[in-house]
A and B are shown apart, each in its own frame.
Chain A
Amino acid sequence: MIASEEIMRGLMVRAQNGDKQAYSVLLEQTGRWLARFFARKIAADAVDDLVQDTLVSLHRKRASYDPSRPFLPWLAAIARYRWVDRLRQTYKHAAQSLDGEFGEKSHEDVVLAKISISRLLDQLPSGQAYAIRLVKIEGLTITEASAKTGQSEPLVKVNIHRGLKRLAALIESV
């Protein structure tokens, strides 16, 4: 069970004031929330690293959280930034099955749906989103993605480049 928005907000406020116990609980809860947030949006073996990157960013940028606003949209903005940043990095890994259910459902599902990464990807033209999913999330090579999509290899590269640029601009908007 992942803590609710209200609980996480309270923990964050206490963490900003230097409460280490509250911070420890917050990071543990946030780590679980992020693992769920990133699930199936990046290769499974990259999720842990991405969660860590995001927690470090949360730590460095904790002064930027405004306690008068909800906590999860702030966290999601940082998580999306880290995700797009990770997609921009060139990396190669074995293609992995990203199917299957992850984690338990909770009362935060509605909130999560509104700030999810899927919602961000949905804003891209289908060609760009497909190319990013295949190459950057599922780990296919450009050649494999080209064969699967019917797009030429240069077009796959262009779609990825333009899609990532657009994702970066959309991080907070939807």
Chain B
Amino acid sequence: MKNVTIQQLVDDLEPVQRLHPNRAISAIVIITAVFMLFVVMVLGPREDIMSGRPDPMFLMRSGILLLLGLANAGAVIGMASPAVGRHNNSWQIAVAAASLFPLAAIILAMSAGFTNTLAAAYTGMECLRMSAVGGLAIAIPIILFLRRGAPTSPERAGWLTGIASGGLGAFAYNFHCPFNDLIYTGTWYTIAVGICAVTGRAIVPRLIRW
């Protein structure tokens, strides 16, 4: 150990503002809510919401996407402050729960086919676009928090950032999406979250500084 290095570090010491995970989570929730309002005001809300009788598929989809987004957001925010022996597998449970949608879609498509889903490709692409735009906005506070923190697995942080932001972006868009079809949901929403996850894995590790 070179004392000169310790002295340099001591000389460089300034008070630091500690990380506040609750503030990061609050920022994520607020941006999600703002984006949801934007979607509803610009694209219009689902009719069943306006009539006060939401479709069961909408409720299930909303719940799963919210669970997926928040569980992954919580996990990735926790990664900023590392500790040996800490376990957080809530994101894995959420991903497993969400994977029921694409699995069910595949099983149903074996008999019904993807014809209707592919015919709705235009709105499917809108789902991808809007989820990605919302995901990008939601990813910003996560990335800023990670840059201040010390994530010991930048690659995993990238995956979780992408899944969290994509899940919450899709959750916000879901308030406009008029489709209740399981195959449609299992296909386009999975692609939307998947693209955000892969993008997060590719980009976020490069933005984390040690």
Contacts and interface: CB of A to CB of B under 8 A. Distances in A.
B15 A17 contact: yes
Interface of B: 1-2, 5-7, 9-19, 80-87, 148-150, 152-153, 155-156, 210
Contact of B85 (A15, A56, A114): A114
Nearest to B79: A172
Interface of A: 15-18, 20, 23-24, 27-28, 31-32, 35, 48, 51-52, 55-57, 59-67, 69-70, 73-74, 76-78, 80-81, 114-115, 168-169, 171-174
A64 B15 contact: no
Contacts of A28: 1, 6
Contact of A55 (B9, B85, B148): B9
Nearest to A47: B1
A77 B84 contact: yes
A70 B83 contact: yes
Contacts of B87: 173
A51 B17 CA distance: 25
Contacts of B19: 63-64, 66
B16 A16 contact: yes
Contacts of A57: 150, 210
B82 A64 contact: yes
A67 B19 CA distance: 11
Q: State the majority secondary structure of interface residues on A.
A: helix
A37 to B, nearest CB: 11
Nearest to B15: A18
B153 A168 contact: yes
26 contacts: A16-B16, A16-B18, A18-B13, A18-B14, A24-B10, A35-B1, A55-B5, A61-B210, A63-B16, A63-B17, A63-B19, A64-B148, A64-B150, A66-B81, A69-B83, A70-B83, A73-B83, A73-B85, A74-B81, A77-B82, A77-B152, A168-B155, A169-B153, A171-B82, A172-B82, A172-B152
Given A24-B6, A59-B9, A74 B82 contact: yes
Contacts of B210: 57, 60-61, 81
A32 B152 CA distance: 22
Contacts of A35: 1
Contacts of B5: 52, 55-56
